[in-house]
Amino acid sequence: MRRALTATVAAAALAVPAGNAAATALAQSKPKAKPKRRVVTVTKRVAGSEVYAGRWGPLRVTLVVKRITTIVGAHRTVKRTIVGLDVPVYPDHTDRSVFINQQALPLLEQEALQAHYSPNVDLISGATDTSMAFVESLQSALLKARSI
């Protein structure tokens, strides 16, 4: 249940691009008794728990929360504001993959690298930048050979 709740919170936070826009203010105010005031500001980074978003992988949200405590005599007013939002662990589109990959990898066929010399081929596929001279040379030779 807690996990699901965290996911909901994380999703809600993610839905708003800027943390500031989603600023949550938890304020308790009481009437001022005396004019003497003291303000204490603390900024903290708060990490949410890592949530597994189904097959999409884990997700974690951290918030930067600024807490302003205003003390007037025996009364204190606490105001908290979200000033930043970060997603240090997110369901990487690629690593959705963790799930799919584990199924996909055995699908690949594996063999050892072989070398075939003077194969009877029409064309050679190779990396342009590096094997160009070789390809060009071999290609023209192949064309000549076939027109004789």
Partner 1 sequence: MSTLPGLRRVEHVMGMPVVADLRDEDLGEDVLEEVFDWLRWVDATFSTYREDSEISRLNRGELGLAGARPEVREVLARCEELREETDGFFDARAASPDLLDPSGFVKGWAVDCAAAILEAAGARNYALSAGGDMRLRGRAAPAWCWRVGIQHPLLRDAVAKVIETRDLAVATSGAYARGPHVIDPHSRRPPSGILSVTVTGPDLGAADAYATAAFAMGGGRAPHWTARLRGYEALLVLADGRVLSTPGFPASSSAASPNVRPGTGVP
Compute the least distance from the CB of residue 15 to partner 1, in Å: 21
Please tell me the number of Cα atoms within 13 Å of 94 on its side-chain side.
Answer: 0
Between residues 24 and 140, which has the closer beta carbon with respect to partner 1? 140
Compute the least distance from the CB of residue 145 to partner 1, in Å: 9
Between residues 28 and 125, which has the closer beta carbon with respect to partner 1? 125
Compute the least distance from the CB of residue 93 to partner 1, in Å: 6
Q: What are phi and psi of 84, to 5 degrees?
A: -160, 155
Between residues 28 and 120, which has the closer beta carbon with respect to partner 1? 120
CA 109, 93, 23: angle at the middle one, nearest 5? Answer: 165
Between residues 59 and 82, which has the closer beta carbon with respect to partner 1? 59
Say which residues have a Cβ less than 8 Å from residue 30's Cβ, sequence separation at least 6. Answer: 75, 77
Compute the least distance from the CB of residue 99 to partner 1, in Å: 11
Separation CA 123–CA 32 (nearest Å) = 88
Q: Under the rule (CB under 8 A), what is the footprint of partner 1?
A: 93-94, 97, 100-101, 104-105, 107-132, 134-136, 139-140, 143, 146-148
C-alpha pair distances (Å), 92 with each of 60, 62, 87, 124: 12, 17, 11, 37
